[in-house]
Structure formats: structure tokens, C-alpha cells
Amino acid sequence: MNLLPIDRIGAKVGIPASALYQFGPYKAKLSRGFTESLPLEGHGKLILVTAISPTPAGEGKTTTTIGLGDGLTRIGKKALICLREPSLGPCFGMKGGATGGGRAQVAPSDEINLHFTGDFHAITAANNLLAAMVDNHIYWGNSLALDPQKVTWRRSMDMNDRALRRMTIDVTGKGLNRPESFDITVASEVMAIFCLARSLEDLEARLSRVIVGRNANGEIVTAQALKAASAMTVLLRDAFQPNLVQTLEHTPALVHGGPFANIAHGCNTLKATETALRLADYVVTEAGFGADLGAEKFFDIKCRLGGLKPAVTVVVATVRALKMHGGVAKNNLAAEDVSAVHAGLCNLRRHIENMLKFGVPVVVAINHFTSDTQAEVDVIVRECGELGISAHLCTHWAEGAEGTESLAHEVAALADGGSAHFHPIYPDSLPIAEKINTVAREIYRADHVDFSDRALAKLAQHEDAGFGSVPVCMAKTQYSFSADPNLRGAPEGFVLPVSDVRLSAGAGFVVALCGEIMTMPGLPRVPAAERIHLDDNGIIQGLF
């Protein structure tokens, strides 16, 4: 890798060397003094990269985000990329690293995929400090009368471990047992708060509102009551500053925060995005998994709470993935099958239609694989054209910025054209259950939502407690519009089961758990960890 010193990367967007706290030669945190000195209102155009429903064939959302950022730089634009930090769970599980691929990568990729600058460790520590203070309070007399059986705060760890989903702990060492479970760090409320807070003051205020459980009278007990929020903020102070790295073509990138999009809200930090908008003319960011999850939450949660106004949406598709949505098995994807691509286009069409509902112009990026044929690509281009949408074949994996020039020109023109009239899919005033129903009908195309008795009781409880105006964060399988991961394509008319709801009072949303979704994943039968090792020169192998 021919990387530049990080101070030279920062200089491209006006970041002085004195504003960088370096972690070696190629990565750094921006100083608090610098980020707070920037103008309050950013002038950059915000571009969202999302995708069709994911398949084992791959879509390449992060790769395309990086490739588009490089492409904008290549055509003379002042661009900055905003990405999420990878979680150790997928790195050592099944998905692998999350820093792009080929010539469209952020670097140093091995360091970013592993400990990076320690942000996730700080988030995990803050989460578990609160958990320890909950149980310590009960141990030392429980003056808040916190009911051990109604403690809702979970511990966290940034690793897939299904054994931690359900357990019983002895709080006092004298047989006072209570149920406990772990969330993966990227699904924790502390991660969501970290990614939605706009300042350290806002961060502490949000942490203070975290609900840890209820007392014997059924009243809410918060982190503020436990006097935990200030210490949690101390643990997060340094982590809260955005991280600066670079692409292989030396485009600056802020990589910060990392909630999953199937069980959390799936976007990088608001702090990094706002900082980027104040530094660059074009900011390219991504939202996790398919547009029904990451993009919906980007619009309905992040943009709503942060006052952001996106200018363009890029939907990524691949010939291979569309063939899988059209019924082709993974081991048969290399053979040309125009009819399967045509059959799978229902998934892309659905996502395009959904994205247009938010009032933001849409363009399609066809992420190229070597097995794609011209006839297969032509089917996608024609289908998009019938919808009034341009589709660009992108070869950034193999050719870097050169492979996204066409896409970059159109994205810049759309962003500069001012045709975006962004609006969320539902208003704040709608009751929580109706917000869930709106997403289910308008985005998933469900016939109706089947709320469990437990979910209905909690919804009423949250409304009564004054949280009726918050947005909803849908926790659902990423593989389908429905809650059934096996229903590919564009199913409709199904029933969406909501088994439970959780109030994230500090983050400012209600999580709706759809079907059998888990907030602590497990490792696959053959985890990636089995092939990750150091070679004779101490170089990491098998991480990608």
C-alpha cells in the first residue's frame, strides 16, 4: 500500500496537522477543539449509498461508497467519505472485514477491522460500567428499590457469542438471582447514543436518560438516578472524536461508530457526518444492509434527529445478487441467466420505489463482477430506465476511481440540481404502533402487523410514559422485506410479527423486534476466526 501520512490527508479538506491526534502514521482522531471550531452549518451535499436486499452473492455497499468518494475526487470535487467502524463479531464470524475491497478500500484495513482507535472498547466499557453499577446498587441495599426481576439493562461484548443470550446471575452472592443477557456492542443503546449525540453535553444528557429497569412500584429507574452518566461520558470522551483515515487513492474518510442495521439503526456517527459536511462539498456515507433497513433508519432516525437533508440516494445492485433474488442457487451464479436477472429485478424495483417516497433523487450503481455479461447488465439498465432512473456500471473494485466516473458525474449533478425535497415516511405525532405499521406497509409491503400481547403492553406503557413522539427502529432480518429470511425477491401481503419492543430512551427511539431476530449473534459452524493468523513476518492473514 502506498499510503500518505495522515496529516497530508487531513490537509486536503482543511484539517491542520495540529488538529490531529495520531495513532501511528496513517490514522488519527480529530481534536475536540478543531471540530467545535467549525461553522455550525455545513455546506456539503450529503449522498447516501444503500443497496438491494443482501444475499450470499454480495452487493458491495461499502466498496461502492469508497469507489464513489474516489470518483468524485477524480472529477475534481472536494469529497469526504463517512463510514461505520467494523465490528469484531462479523470479522471473526462469517461476514469478514468491512473496509471495502480491491482498489476501493479504506486503509490501514487490518487496523480498522481490529482494534482501530479503541472506540468500540470504550463503548463496551461504558455499557458494562452501568451494568456493574446497577447490580452494585442492589448489592449495597438498593435504596432506589430497583426490582431485580425488572432490570432491563444488558451487558455487551463486541463478539458473536450465543451462550451469552440468556443466563442467570447471583447479584448479592447470597442467592438473589436475576436474569441477564448480553447484546453485541453494536446493538447496545450506548452505541446508538454515541452515534446520535451531537456534543459531549448531549452525549451525557442522553446517557442520563437511559432506563435500566423499574422499581417495586413499576416506576422507571434511569442511569441518572444511579449517578452513572458522568462516569460513562468520561469513558467515551476521547472515543467521541471522529477518526480520520484514507482510501487507497488518498481520499479522506471519517470512520466512526458502527451500529448494525438489522438490530440497530445502521449509520455512522452524527458527529462525523456533521463534521464532514462542514469540511467538504460532497459527503458520501452508507447505511447498513438493504434500503428497507439501513436507508429507512438513516432517513427516519438519523436525518430526523440530526436535521440532515440528504441530496442523493445511490442504490447498489449486482447481477449476481439479482440472480439469487430470481431463484438461482449460489453455486450457479457464474453462468449467464438473463431471465433470472429479470426475475430478481423485482427486489431492486421495490427498493427504488421505496427510496423515492422520501423525496430524494435516486441513481443505481451496478457493482461489476467479472462473471457479469453485457446482456445481463443491459436488463438492469433498461428496467431502471423504465422507472426514470439512471443505472451506471461501476468497475471500482478493479479500476478504482476510474470505474465510477460516470456515477460520480451524475451524483454531483443531482446533488447540485437541488431537486431533493426530503421528508421522513411518518410524522413525529403518529402513535408508535402506527409508525411501525407505516414502515411495515410502505417499506416492507406487509398486509398488517401482528403485535404480541407483550409488545402491545409495552407500547401502551411507553406512550403513557411520554415517549409517543419518538421514531421507531425496526429490528428485522436483513435478507428479506419480510421477517422470513427465506423470502427473497419482493414478497407482499404477508403478516409482520412484532414479538417485543424496547424503549431506548437515551437514543431517542423505540426498537421493534420482528420475528426471531437476535441482538447477540452466534458464530457460524466454521467461523472466520479459524483461518485468521499471523504469517512468519507477523502480517495478519485471513482477515479479508
Taking only the tens place, the pLDDT of each residue in 334-361 is 999 999 999 999 999 999 999 999 999 9
On the CB side of 111, how many CA atoms lie within 13 Å of its CA? 17
Distances from the Cα of 154 to the Cαs of 130, 178, 468, 497, 508, in angstroms? 9, 12, 23, 24, 18
Q: Which of 23, 369, 481, 494 is catalytic?
A: 369
pLDDT band at 98 (very low <50, low <70, confident <90, very high): confident
Q: Which of 11, 57, 78, 95 is catalytic?
A: 95
Distances from the Cα of 28 to the Cαs of 33, 184, 195, 482, in angstroms? 15, 26, 18, 41
Q: Which of 74, 77, 84, 320 is catalytic?
A: 84
Region of poorest pLDDT, from 76-80, 414-418, 422-426, 530-534: 530-534
Q: Which of 289, 358, 451, 467 is catalytic?
A: 289
Give me the mean pLDDT over the 509-527 stretch.
Answer: 89
pLDDT band at 95 (very low <50, low <70, confident <90, very high): low
Q: Residue 78 catalytic? A: no
Q: Which of 50, 55, 63, 318 is catalytic?
A: 63
Q: Residue 289 catalytic? A: yes
pLDDT at 256: 97
Give me the mean pLDDT over the 110-136 stretch.
Answer: 96
> Does residue 328 have a pLDDT over 80?
yes
pLDDT at 93: 84
Q: Residue 150 catalytic? A: no
How many other C-beta atoms are found inside a 10 Å radius of the C-beta of residue 230? Answer: 12
Name 448's bridge partners. Answer: 495
pLDDT band at 123 (very low <50, low <70, confident <90, very high): very high
Q: Which of 12, 27, 61, 155 is catalytic?
A: 61
Q: Residue 116 catalytic? A: no
> Does residue 260 have a pLDDT over 70?
yes
pLDDT at 43: 83
User: Please, what are the domains in the chain?
Assistant: 33-117+239-417 (3.40.50.300), 119-234 (3.30.1510.10), 432-514 (3.10.410.10)
pLDDT band at 89 (very low <50, low <70, confident <90, very high): confident
pLDDT band at 363 (very low <50, low <70, confident <90, very high): very high
Q: What is the pLDDT of residues 463-510, one digit of tens each?
A: 988 898 999 999 999 999 999 999 999 999 999 999 999 999 999 999
Q: Residue 95 catalytic? A: yes
Q: Which 8-state DSSP code applies to residue 267?
A: B
> Does residue 544 have a pLDDT over 80?
no
Q: Which of 79, 131, 187, 261 is catalytic?
A: 261
Q: What is the pLDDT of residues 375-428, one digit of tens each?
A: 999 999 999 999 999 999 999 999 999 999 999 999 999 999 988 899 999 999
Cα–Cα distance measured from residue 62 to residue 55, given in angstroms and rounded to the nearest whole number: 15
Chain Cα centroid distance, residue 248? 23
Residues with Cβ within 8 Å of residue 27, at least 6 apart in sequence: 6, 108, 111, 112, 116, 117, 243, 244, 245
Q: What is the pLDDT of residues 141-180, one digit of tens each?
A: 999 999 999 999 999 999 999 999 999 988 888 888 898 9
pLDDT above 90 as % of the chain = 85
Q: What is the pLDDT of residues 432-473, one digit of tens each?
A: 999 999 999 999 999 999 999 999 999 999 998 889 899 999
pLDDT above 70 as % of the chain = 99
Q: Residue 77 catalytic? A: no
Q: Residue 103 catalytic? A: no
Dihedral of alpha carbons 477, 97, 504, 290, sign: negative
pLDDT at 91: 85
pLDDT at 172: 81
Q: What is the mean pLDDT of the chain?
A: 94
Q: Residue 369 catalytic? A: yes
Give me the mean pLDDT over the 92-100 stretch.
Answer: 79
Residues with Cβ within 8 Å of residue 269, at least 6 apart in sequence: 194, 195, 196, 242, 256, 257
> Does residue 254 have a pLDDT over 90?
yes
> Does residue 40 have a pLDDT over 80?
no
pLDDT at 519: 85
> Does residue 96 have a pLDDT over 70?
no
Cα–Cα distance measured from residue 77 to residue 511, given in angstroms and rounded to the nearest whole number: 38
Q: Which of 34, 260, 397, 509 is catalytic?
A: 397
Contact (Cβ atoms closer than 8 angstroms) between residue 12 and residue 254: no
Cα–Cα distance measured from residue 408 to residue 400, given in angstroms and rounded to the nearest whole number: 12
pLDDT at 42: 67
> Does residue 249 have a pLDDT over 80?
yes
